[in-house]
């Protein structure tokens, strides 16, 4: 039987690299869209250029598209130009895929777009299912709204369409956890303010499994891609400490210090998002890592 082809736009990043291996092992043929010239023994790398609205036409001759493109949310201080880059990379990538599919009149089996739980804004201890209203006004809320709106325009081009509101991805290779690992190994772990704000997270392998469920149409529409156990910031850091260095000292850092150090971007670590995977639960999705401590132990041990 012919292998199904999956294009991962932005597939060279943290999630995409893991996902590419995961899909390859499941028997998919994997193509990756990147701004750079790259090669890999297992995948086909293809180029695109969002500034020139250029895309390799081979990229669209696939059964599935997963769009993970986007300038890192918390990589650099949120200046006006960085904010523009964060939004443009997400909006233009969706627009370019849209344009390509429209011109080639090609219909996909599935289109899956990343989004983020930042869309819910700062919501204290409110439990946020996919039905929660979007009420916030901060940058991440605005960014996710335009990101999702642009993605939604691709709905007509796929038999199954999903937008995944992803939580903090647990991986030892990048993202939030990797920033905590070194200080923890040096015996230090900090929580922010009173540590009562919620973090929602997902192990990278569970996220890959969720993405596959969108390809196979077990899930569709807006889906919270988070584990079933959101934790307060203090509980989150305590679980990381237990998994990596139980001897480490856990101490509070005042919120104003983080605001001074990170500016507006401090919202990424100070906002509260208690997000519930209601759609995944309804679909009977089985998490391999429902508990954070085991999730962290696993990624550190396997270096994934």
Instruction: Report the interface residues with ligand NAP, using CB under 6 A.
Output: 10, 12-16, 34-36, 50, 68-73, 85, 89, 114, 116, 166, 168-169, 175
DSSP state letter for 2: P
Shortest distance, position 150 Cβ to ligand NAP, whole Å: 12
Task: Name the residue number minimizing CB distance to ligand NAP.
Answer: 13
Rounded Cα distance between 57 and 31, Å, is 12
Element housing 150 (H / E) = helix 139-152
Q: d(Cα 65, Cα 13) in Å, to the nearest integer?
A: 16
221 phi and psi angles, rounded to 5 deg? 75, -155
Distance in Å, CB of 90 to ligand NAP, minimum: 6
Nearer to ligand NAP, 163 or 168 (CB): 168
Cα distances (angstroms) measured from residue 23 to each of 5, 45, 210, 246: 10, 15, 12, 35
In the complex with ligand NAP, which residue's Cβ is closer, 69 or 232? 69
| Positions of E strands within the chain | 5-9, 29-34, 44-49, 54-55, 64-67, 108-116, 127-128, 158-166, 168-170, 188-192, 198-199, 201-203, 221-225, 231-232, 249-253, 274-275
Nearer to ligand NAP, 88 or 252 (CB): 88
- CB 47 → ligand NAP: shortest distance, Å? 9
Question: What is the closest distance, in whole angstroms, from the C-beta atom of residue 173 to ligand NAP in the complex?
Answer: 9
Distances (CA, A) of 101 to 8, 19, 106, 132: 15, 23, 5, 32
Min separation Cβ 115 and ligand NAP, Å = 7
Give whichever of 101 and 164 is closer to ligand NAP, judged by the CB atom.
Answer: 164
For 298, the 3-state DSSP assignment is helix
Q: Say how far apart CA 43 and CA 46 lie, in whole Å.
A: 10
The smaller minimum CB distance to ligand NAP, of residues 91 and 258, is found at 91
- Bridge partners of 34, per DSSP, are 47
Residue closer to ligand NAP (CB basis): 252 or 278: 278
Work out the burial of residue 52: count CB atoms within 10 Å of its CB; fewer than 13 is exposed, 13-18 middle, 19 or more buried. Answer: exposed
Nearer to ligand NAP, 24 or 252 (CB): 24
Comparing CB distances to ligand NAP, the nearer of 62 and 73 is 73
- Strand-by-strand arrangement of the 5-9 sheet: 54-55, 44-49, 29-34, 5-9, 64-67, 108-116, 158-166, 221-225
Least distance in angstroms from the C-beta of 249 to ligand NAP = 26
Q: How far is the CB of 151 from ligand NAP (least distance, A)?
A: 10
- CB 210, min distance to ligand NAP, A: 12
């Amino acid at each position: 039987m012919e292998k199904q082809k999956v294009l991962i736009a932005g597939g060279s990043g943290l999630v995409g690299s893991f996902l590419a291996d995961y899909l390859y092992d499941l028997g998919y043929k994997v193509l990756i869209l990147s701004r750079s010239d790259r090669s890999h023994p297992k995948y086909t790398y293809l180029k695109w250029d969002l500034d020139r609205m250029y895309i390799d036409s081979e990229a669209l001759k696939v059964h599935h598209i997963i769009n993970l493109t986007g300038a890192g949310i918390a990589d650099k201080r949120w200046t006006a130009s960085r904010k523009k880059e964060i939004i443009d990379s997400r909006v233009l990538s969706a627009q370019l895929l849209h344009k390509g599919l429209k011109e080639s009149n090609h219909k996909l089996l599935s289109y899956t777009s990343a989004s983020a739980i930042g869309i819910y804004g700062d919501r204290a201890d409110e439990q946020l299912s996919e039905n929660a209203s979007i009420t916030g006004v901060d940058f991440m809320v605005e960014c996710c709204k335009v990101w999702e709106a642009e993605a939604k325009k691709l709905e007509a081009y796929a038999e199954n369409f999903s937008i995944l509101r992803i939580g903090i991805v647990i991986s030892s290779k990048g993202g939030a956890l990797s920033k905590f690992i070194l200080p923890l190994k040096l015996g230090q772990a900090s929580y922010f303010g009173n540590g009562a704000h919620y973090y929602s997270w997902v192990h990278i392998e569970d996220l890959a499994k969720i993405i596959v469920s969108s390809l196979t149409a077990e899930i569709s529409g807006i889906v919270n891609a988070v584990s079933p156990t959101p934790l307060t910031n203090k509980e989150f850091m305590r679980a990381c400490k237990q998994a990596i260095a139980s001897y480490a000292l856990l101490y509070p850092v005042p919120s104003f210090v983080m605001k001074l150090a990170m500016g507006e971007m401090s919202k990424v670590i100070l906002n509260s998002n208690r997000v519930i995977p209601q759609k995944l639960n309804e679909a009977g999705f089985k998490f391999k890592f429902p508990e954070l401590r085991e999730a962290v132990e696993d990624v550190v041990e396997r270096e994934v």
